[in-house]
Amino acid sequence: MEDRSIQIQLGIGAIAASVFLIAVAIPFWVSSPSNVPNVILSPLFWPNVLAALTGLIGAGLIVTSIARPRPEKPDASDVDDRPAAFTRLAIMAVIMIASVLVMPRLGLVGTAMLTFAATAFLVKTKHPRSALVCAVVIPLVLYVFFAHIAGVAVPQGDFVRLP
């Protein structure tokens, strides 16, 4: 199967997931109080934003796959090194399990930093310094937003207490 058809299928799947989330899952399974003072703090707001972005990304995949020219040589049809692929998959499972086990000790922010960095190096990022900066900055910025602006309690660890 060529990359173009894979992108179109992924785009269609993303749009279908987006429609399902917006039409069925969020309205029926996410509860929200009626007296939320700020729309951004509503439990319905961010799931709807993410669902809409999923649909936009799906549409973007379809448009870009149709608009780009056909390649002269056929795409690689399969992974060359299957054992390495399964090893990376197993390591990703270990990272996920370790994240759940470490979170009570390090807290959500510290665990997110380590998980982001470990995943970036697992997928062999071409930008390791940027990945490390993002691994530190993004969880801290999200912590500041949720803890200090939204007023949501973010789980803290046993070793480090963030202000």
Instruction: Give residues with Cβ within 8 angstroms of 102, minimum separation 6.
Output: 111, 114
Instruction: Give residues with Cβ within 8 angstroms of 112, minimum separation 6.
Output: 138, 139, 142
Q: Is residue 158 part of a domain?
A: no
My answer on whether 87 and 144 are in the same domain is: yes
pLDDT of residue 49: 96
Q: Is residue 125 part of a domain?
A: yes
Cα 62 to Cα 76: distance, rounded to the nearest angstrom? 20
Better-scored residue on pLDDT, 32 or 139: 139
Q: Is residue 33 part of a domain?
A: yes
Q: Is residue 31 part of a domain?
A: yes
Cα 31 to Cα 28: distance, rounded to the nearest angstrom? 8
65-119: pLDDT as tens digits: 998 877 676 655 556 788 888 999 999 999 999 999 999 999 999 999 999 999 9
Better-scored residue on pLDDT, 58 or 151: 58
pLDDT of residue 32: 85
Cα 159 to Cα 106: distance, rounded to the nearest angstrom? 6
Coil, strand or helix: which one is 73?
Answer: coil
> For residue 143, what are the domain limits?
82-149
Q: Which of 32-36, 69-73, 131-135 has the lowest mean pLDDT?
A: 69-73
Total of domains in the chain:
2
Better-scored residue on pLDDT, 160 or 59: 59
My answer on whether 101 and 46 are in the same domain is: no
Q: Is residue 161 part of a domain?
A: no
163 — pLDDT class (breaks 50, 70, 90): confident
Q: What are the distances in angstroms from CA 127 to CA 109, 117, 131, 139?
A: 22, 11, 6, 18
Q: Is residue 89 part of a domain?
A: yes
Query: CA-based diameter of the chain, in Å?
Result: 59
